[in-house]
Each structure stands twice: as structure tokens, then as C-alpha cells.
Structure 1
Amino acid sequence: MWIGGRRSTDDKWRYMNGSEFNKQITTPSQTASYCLYVRLCKDSTVEYHDDNCDEKTTSSRLLCQYDQSKTAVAHQIPISVINVTERQNMMDLMETE
């Protein structure tokens, strides 16, 4: 399950389904600087991927969440560390697709 996300001006993540994500993020510069896809994994971790990732290239493309210096950091984040409201937003989106 993939959900698009972007960091908004208040520095919080906004989760969108794929079509909403693609409509809102339209320029390469925006996409490259702060936009990622998120996948909720069966082991309750959340994988962050760059926007060019697809299911077939997961192993090579799993790397990106940008820190304050815009440096890509490879990691997986346990879903429990995500803000409770944002976590519920993710679940709601997953249920609607």
C-alpha cells in the first residue's frame, strides 16, 4: 500500500493517496526537495521512498527521508513513533483505497 506525502510549510507531513499526491506535486524541483512516498509494512514499520520508486525497485530505492539539511537518510521508522493523529490519517487513507 502506497501513500504519497509531502512536508508542508508548518513542517508536518501531509498524507495523500496517489492521485491527490500527483495533482498537488507537479514540478520536479518540488518533488525532489521534499516529497516522498510512504508504505506501511506488515511488520508495522513505515518505509519512506523517493517519488520515483515503484514496487519493482523497492530494494534499490528505499532510502529517503530528508532531514533539516536536505540530506537523504536511509531508515525505517516504527509506525508507533509517528504522531498519533498522522498515524490515524494514514490508516483512514488506506481504508478508503
Structure 2
Amino acid sequence: MTTQHRLKEIMLANKLNLKEFSEKIKIPYRTLQNYLLGKRTIRMDALTNICIHMGINLNWLATGKGEMYDRKGTEKVKTLGGTIEWLNE
């Protein structure tokens, strides 16, 4: 399975269309569309961004190995987000 297929799997699992997914992961619609069509190579920073916003295991997204969701990583991101909000208060 390719990275493009795994992106589609994330969209299906989260019941998101292309527009909703692009907004959620903060990647422009056309860029995401090109990733899905294989017209553009997905850069590591884009993969990382997707993982942060969706709670996805980076190893799974990049290679297909492991579980789709990264439970520990998601908790770290939530904790970091809470810390940043607290610091901004």
C-alpha cells in the first residue's frame, strides 16, 4: 500500500472529504489533491503535519508498518497544546 492509499484510508476512517481533510491538516486543497493523485511527492514535513493533526503514527503513514493511530504521540501533542495555551494566558 502506498502513502497515497494510506492518506485515503485516514480520510475514510475519519469520514472526511478532501476539503475537510485539507482544512483539518492545514495543507492546501490542491496540494493534498496532488498528493492523492501521485502528481506530487509528499514531503516529510507534510507527513509530520498530518500525523500531528490527526493523531497518526508517522511510521505507519510513511512505511505502512505499525498501527495507524499513535495513541502516545497524540497524548503528547494534546499535552503540549495545553501547555502552550497555559503559557499564553
Quick check: TM above 0.5?
Answer: no
Q: Which has the larger radius of gyration?
A: 2
**Structure having the larger proportion of residues in helix:** 2
User: As a proportion of its length, which structure holds more strand?
Assistant: 1
- What's the TM-score, normalizing by structure 2? 0.29
